[in-house]
Structure 1
Amino acid sequence: MRVCLLTDKPDHPLLAAASSALIEAEHQVTILNPDTGTGSPSELVIPDDLADVYLLKAHTSRALVLARFLEAHGARVVNSAAATELCQDRSWIAAVAEGAGLPMPRTRTLDSLSEALHGAERPESGYPLMVKSRHSRRADLVARVDGPAELQDLAAEWSNEPVVLQEFVANSGWDHKLWVIAGEVFAGVRPAPVGAPPDGAQPVPLVRDLPPAWTGLALRAGEVFGLDVYGVDLLDREGAPVVVDINAFPGIRGPKGAPAALAALALRRPRPGPPAYGA
């Protein structure tokens, strides 16, 4: 079987270990960086000579164009281009989650952060709040704002950034990171980006010690968003899990068994992704 990794980081531990497992099982593994070259991404492949499955780790616009091209020519892509694109837009994520009844913080979308300083868009109450780039990417904006002065300082640096404003979820300072590969759940606990616990504080129990509702919520998120490889960040709000982020094909580091699960998924047919969502 021919498996192609769509990524600019083939040496990522998850991808490298999964590739080794596939090669040991006598499957062929190739690597394609969708951001190579300046022409159309479709020029990087030959439609009559496609791999059996493409693992879409890259999330750039060129990667999505290539993934759609591959899908249009009958290729299997994990995750689908539609599901991956959906998870790049925090406004879409919030809307879809709300429609499906998934617990997420209240979210408001602004075309630019500067709008939060004026008129009806100004958050007159509800501090602290979370300010995040609408479009998820490397080095994007994720910040807690405790009042108007902090918001004004942030807007001075990110004035034209499309953002979402979310209610701040009071929590223990720990992120529960649940990673799912084809229905198999792996977990870790990391300091939350904001409101992190003091240095030396011990993490709360891992997912094996949590109520089944937590893992059930992670699995439900995959069904809603049409994902086969994904991460769900959960915070504990008075004993109940709240989804604060969903990531398509995240960098899963640490959990034993994750590379083997990914290799096994590559040999299976993924379920279809969700329909495309408008802004």
Structure 2
Amino acid sequence: MRIGLITPEPGHPLLAAATALLAPEHTVEVLDPASPAGAPARPADVYLLKSGTERALELARELEARGAVVVNSAAATALCQDRTRMAELALGAGLPFADTRTHGSLSAWASDAALPAPVVVKSRRNRRGDLVARVDDGSRLRQLAEVWRHEPVVVQEFAPNSGWDHKLWAIGDEVFCALRRSELSPEGRGATRSLPLDELPAGWADLVRETGAVFALEVYGVDIIDVGDGTPLIVDVNAFPGVRGQAGAPEALAALALRRVTGRTGRAHATR
């Protein structure tokens, strides 16, 4: 079988480990979105899309149009890059997602914003190096507006919590979990610590799987904070995260790729 990787980083630990598991019996091909070569004349049996660049999405859409299986679909991947659409879909489906307001630019919102309580300001486009910051007062808001003046943003009320993010990842139906300091923490994120699933509050693993179904994702991450007594609040959803250092994750990814080749069935494409 031929498994394709749509990524500029085939040496990423998760992809490299899954490739090592697949390579003895299957052909693993790398499709670099930055390459001028474009999509191959004969598509692979399944593609793993671990890139959110416009070029990567274009390649994924082209391959899907030619009948190839892409995990995650281009539509689902693109949806997770837009935090406004993400919030609309999650809240519309009844998921416990943070209430989200959208503004065309940080400077436009900052010019007349009233801050009765702390808020979290994020770039509307979910990407590496984006803006994620807690804002408690006008002075902090003006500082951010000087740097991110034209950035489209979403604003969420700050929810008091323990200061730890629960990083939950799913590959198919398998869920992995870790704890990491919130990126809003003054101490910084620090190291990520794996957490056994049985130490999660009841129902959280099922909530992750439900989120995957709503977003039509097969490899994904869900960031959850505990806002008290095990009550979950989803603050972000990511398509094809790194899932670094999680025992069993490469095996789960390799098995998922092979299932998608043989079954060629999976979640419907996200369209919202």
For the criterion TM > 0.5, the same-fold answer is yes
For 1:236-255, what aligned pairs fall within 5 Å after superposition? 236-239=226-229, 240-255=231-246
1:171 match: 161
Q: Which amino acid aligns with 1:245?
A: D
Q: What SS does the corresponding residue of 2:224 show, helix, strand or coil?
A: strand
Report the Cα offset of residue 117 of structure 1. Answer: 2.1
Q: What SS does the corresponding residue of 1:109 show, helix, strand or coil?
A: strand
Q: What SS does the corresponding residue of 2:167 show, helix, strand or coil?
A: strand
- Closer/same/farther in 2, CA of residues 247 and 200 from structure 1, 3 Å limit: closer
Report the Cα offset of residue 208 of structure 1. Answer: 1.8
Report the Cα offset of residue 45 of structure 1. Answer: 2.0
Q: How far does the alpha carbon of each residue in 1:113-171 deviate from its partner, in whole angstroms, 9 at most, with x for none?
A: 0121234xx2x134311110000111111111111111111011101001100111211
1:16 match: 16
Cα distance between partner residues in 2 of 1:198 and 1:95: 30
1:45 match: 39
2:197 match: 207
Bigger drift between 197-206 and 257-266 goes to 197-206
For the aligned residues, what is the CA RMSD? 2.1
- Closer/same/farther in 2, CA of residues 202 and 68 from structure 1, 3 Å limit: closer
Q: Which amino acid aligns with 2:18?
A: A
Report the Cα offset of residue 274 of structure 1. Answer: 3.5
Say yes or no: does 1:222 pair with 2:251: no
Report the Cα offset of residue 199 of structure 1. Answer: 9.8
Indicate conservation of the 8 Å contact 1:110/1:116, yes or no.
yes
Q: How far does the alpha carbon of each residue in 1:1-20 deviate from its partner, in whole angstroms, 9 at most, with x for none?
A: 00011101111110000000
Say yes or no: does 1:79 pair with 2:69: no
Instruction: Give the % identical residues.
Output: 52
Bigger drift between 71-80 and 165-174 goes to 165-174
Say yes or no: does 1:3 pair with 2:8: no
1:140 to 113, 124, 130: 130
Indicate conservation of the 8 Å contact 2:4/2:48, yes or no.
yes
TM-score (norm 1): 0.90
Cα distance between partner residues in 1 of 2:173 and 2:237: 15
Q: Which amino acid aligns with 1:16?
A: A
Cα distance between partner residues in 2 of 1:238 and 1:71: 43
- Closer/same/farther in 2, CA of residues 198 and 139 from structure 1, 3 Å limit: closer
Bigger drift between 191-200 and 4-13 goes to 191-200
Report the Cα offset of residue 205 of structure 1. Answer: 5.8
Q: Which amino acid aligns with 1:140?
A: D
How many residues were matched structurally?
A: 267
Runs of 4+ in 1 over 2 A off after TM superposition: 195-207, 272-277
Cα distance between partner residues in 1 of 2:167 and 2:191: 18
Q: Which amino acid aligns with 1:276?
A: T
Cα distance between partner residues in 1 of 2:186 and 2:167: 14
Gaps of 5+ in 2: none
Q: How far does the alpha carbon of each residue in 1:173-197 deviate from its partner, in whole angstroms, 9 at most, with x for none?
A: 1111110000100111111101366
